[in-house]
Amino acid sequence: MKSAPQDADALARGDRVNQLEQELMRGRLDRRAFMKFATALGLSAGSAAAIAQQAGAVAANQAARAQDLLAQYDYVIVGAGSSGCVVASRLSENPDVKVLLLEAGGDDQAPSILDPGVWYTNLGTEREWGDQTAPQRHLNGRTLKLAMGKALGGGSSINVMAYARGHKNDYDHWAAEAGDPAWNYDHVLAIYKRIENWQGAPDPAYRGTGGNVWVQPARDPNPIAPAMVRAAAGVGIPTYADHNGAMMEGAGGCAIANTTIKDGRRMNMAAHYLHPAMHRPNLTVLTGAEVQKVTLKGKRATGIEFVWQGKPRKVAAAKEIVLSAGALNSPKLLMLSGIGDAAQLKRAGVTPQHHLPGVGRNFMDHILLGGCIWEYNTPEAPRNNLAECTFFWKSDSRLDTPDLQPFQIEIPYASDVNAKQYALPQHAWSIAPGLVRPASRGHVELQSADPRARLKIHANFLSDPADMKALVRAVELCREIGNAPEMRQYAKREVMPGPLKGKEMENFVRNAAVTYWHETGTCKMGRGTMAVVDSKLRVRGIEGLRVADGSIMPRVTTGNTMAPCMIIGERMAEILKQA
């Protein structure tokens, strides 16, 4: 599916300029040729020159840095995802420190990354790790794929570009768990306001402008999106202009979604943070660098072993190593390095170096159902990221925070099982019930000491009965909204699931369950015996080693996790700069 109808010629010209820029950065095109081609495509000489200057500086700098790798850097960061890009950018603002960023994947310039309307085509490709769960007992024995980004930008390069900041209670809970008020909502809100370049209605109490992170409500949305906002209001869910403002301090509401899309193109965390910093002589970014382990001397982390360009390499860290490899690969690297539950490490063939039983525990993910689907009366083309309306609501009014986040999806969205069971029409739209405050917890473990082996992931989805109860309510609510009068002009018929009850409804949920790909929690921050990092994100009992990504969340945030992972990166940079 393509994104919103736009000026096709303008987009084609933009694509070609982007290709030329990448060729210039890689040394395949000289500056003179770039200027000639870019101006022929309609760019002004000034704009073309500015692009050429930036691209040339980045290309020359990174080529020089790669050819002259140092034996030691001040900071070594593993993973260029939504947290790692931030940490690398912020630390390299200090010209007196040397920063190395290692990313296992490639660059972020593939058309499938840049075009918001085809984001899903990255799934199952080299741009994600290909992890999957063990068979899930409570999902009728199904195995689910867990997409984690493998490119500059990490998950922000393959996700749906939905920008959800999280609920006030999320951050206040983190602060309580960590025993540190710097993680609370007030402090985090101040960071959001400082870094955002908000393009919606001005709201100085909640939104910032002039920062480096471009955020906007979905532009010119498919008409079914505002219709869903009206339908939600009709069933008692209040309407908001912005789901990241006052709405996320209370019981929830419905709104057009925030996105990180600019001029019809994805703005990932590499675009927001990393690319503008890659001209700095003190920042080295290596792609295709597969980290094997952290090296230790006693209880101090001293460096990293990795494979790059087919050769094993070692690099030392004078100050700190920061793991930002995500909620699967960060605990994996700790375990490969001998940090984790000693008995489990021995079973995998790894010699324990430091017993830390919480590594790999507390696995969480948001559940998304595929889903509730209606056939169009008259087909409407998907726009933007194909997901332009969402709501947050409580499955039980006694909860302190919304636990549901369904998303409207502008194509027929079904799980593998349900896609076979129901006859899906070509032209249809969905409301996918989502659970964003799961009670179920899982864990991950090594299958062997081989760094190339993937983890065994015991996700334990729906193992807590509370999650089934919440998702049944979510399906009922989505059906009520999808069948409301406000949606009738867009709905020829309900395709699935229909008015199921009892065990039939529960079986539908088990077959419909997939994930939001919001894997988190496996190196949780806290003070108890199962905490992996403390409030400063230091690995407990190990000097010189920190973790900064979604794995540190004591409890997953309410909503999409890209923006909170960015905040974790900002907090990591704050902490290290103050050290």
Q: Which residues contact 237 (CB under 8 A, 6 or more apart)?
A: 252, 253, 254, 391, 393
Residue 62 has pLDDT above 70, yes or no: yes
Question: Mean pLDDT score of the chain, rounded to an integer?
Answer: 94
Q: How far apart are CA 534 and CA 70, in angstroms?
A: 30
> Tokens 């390299």 correspond to what residue?
92
Q: How far apart are CA 118 and CA 223, in angstroms?
A: 20
Give the whole-angstrom CA distance, residue 376 versus residue 389. Answer: 17
Which residues are registered as beta bridge partners of 430? 373, 409
Q: Is the pLDDT of residue 528 over 80?
A: yes
pLDDT, position 53: 73
Residue whose tokens read 């001029």: 263
pLDDT of residue 4: 37
Per the model's pLDDT, the better-predicted residue between 503 and 49 turns out to be 503
Q: ω before 485 within 30° of 0 (cis)?
A: no
Residue 540 and residue 534 in contact, taking contact as beta carbons nearer than 8 Å = yes
User: What is the distance between the alpha carbons of residues 402 and 568, in angstroms, rounded to a whole number?
Assistant: 22
One-letter amino acid for residue 143 of the chain: T
**What is the mean predicted confidence (pLDDT) over 442-461?**
97
Lowest mean pLDDT among 39-43, 245-249, 264-268, 389-393: 39-43
Based on DSSP, count helices (H) and strands (E) in the chain, helices before strands: 15, 27
Q: Is the dihedral of CA 267, 273, 277, 282 positive or negative?
A: negative
Residue-level pLDDT at 382: 95
Q: Check residue 10 and give its pLDDT.
A: 57
457 DSSP 8-state letter = E
Within a domain: 31: yes
Mean pLDDT of 354-360: 98
> pLDDT confidence of 28, banded at 50, 70, 90?
low
| 92-101, 262-271, 451-460: range with lowest mean pLDDT | 262-271
From the list 476, 438, 517, 435, the residue with the least C-alpha distance to 129 is: 517
Tally the C-alpha atoms within 13 A of residue 259's C-alpha that lie toward its C-beta: 26
Q: What is the pLDDT of residues 165-192, one digit of tens each?
A: 999 999 999 999 999 999 999 999 999 9
DSSP symbols for 315-350: EEEEEEEEE-SHHHHHHHHHHHTTEE-HHHHHHTT-
**Of 85-89, 261-265, 275-279, 461-465, the least confident:** 261-265
Q: What is the pLDDT of residue 9?
A: 60
Q: Is residue 43 part of a domain?
A: yes
Compute the average pLDDT of residues 40-57.
76
pLDDT higher than threshold 90 for residue 24? no
**How many domains does the chain contain in total?**
1
For residue 501, pLDDT over 60 is answered with yes
Determine, yes or no, domain membership for 122: no
Q: Which residue range(s) make up the domain with 59?
A: 7-68
Which of 272, 273, 244 shows the shortest CA–CA distance to 256?
244
Among all chains, which residue has been given the structure tokens 């303008």? Answer: 10
Q: Give 196's pLDDT tier (boundaries 50, 70, 90).
A: very high
Helix (H) or strand (E) holding 215: strand 213-217
The answer to whether the CB of 552 falls within 8 A of the CB of 70 is no
| Residue 251 DSSP SS3 | coil
Which positions make up the binding site for substrate? 516
Let me know if residue 36 belongs to a domain.
yes
- 130 contacts: CB under 8 Å, gap ≥ 6: 124, 145, 454
* Burial letters 251-274, b for 16+ CB under 10 A, else e: ebbbbbbbbbbbebbbbbbbbbbb
Average pLDDT over residues 251-262: 97
The predicted structure's pLDDT at residue 7: 46
Torsions phi, psi for 280 (to 5 deg): -70, 135
Q: Kindly state the DSSP code that residue 392 receives in the 8-state scheme.
A: E
Is residue 436 assigned to a domain? no
Q: Give me the pLDDT at residue 2, please.
A: 33
Residue 1 clears pLDDT 50, i.e. is over it: no
- % of the chain residues with pLDDT over 90: 88
Residue 114 counted as domain residue: no
Q: How many residues comprise the chain? A: 579
| Residue 161 backbone class (left: φ over 0; alpha: ψ -120 to 50; beta: rest) | left
272 is catalytic: no
pLDDT band at 133 (very low <50, low <70, confident <90, very high): very high
SS3 553: coil
- Mean pLDDT in residue range 489-506: 98
Q: Which two tokens stand for residue 500?
A: 């199921």
What global pTM score does this model have? 0.93
Binding positions for FAD: 291, 517-518, 550
What single DSSP character describes residue 157? G
Summarize the confidence of residues 415-431 as an average pLDDT. Answer: 95
Burial 90-111 (b: 16+ CB within 10 A, else e): bbbeeeebbbbbbbbbebbbbe
| The pLDDT value given to residue 60 | 85
Indicate whether 40 pLDDT > 70. yes
Mean pLDDT value of segment 153-158: 97
Domain annotation covers residue 470: no
Residue ranges for the binding site? 291, 516-518, 550
Q: Where residue 42 falls among pLDDT bands split at 50, 70, 90?
A: confident
Is residue 77 in a domain?
Answer: no
Distance in Å from the first CA to the final CA of the chain: 48
- What value does the mean pLDDT take over residues 219-227? 97
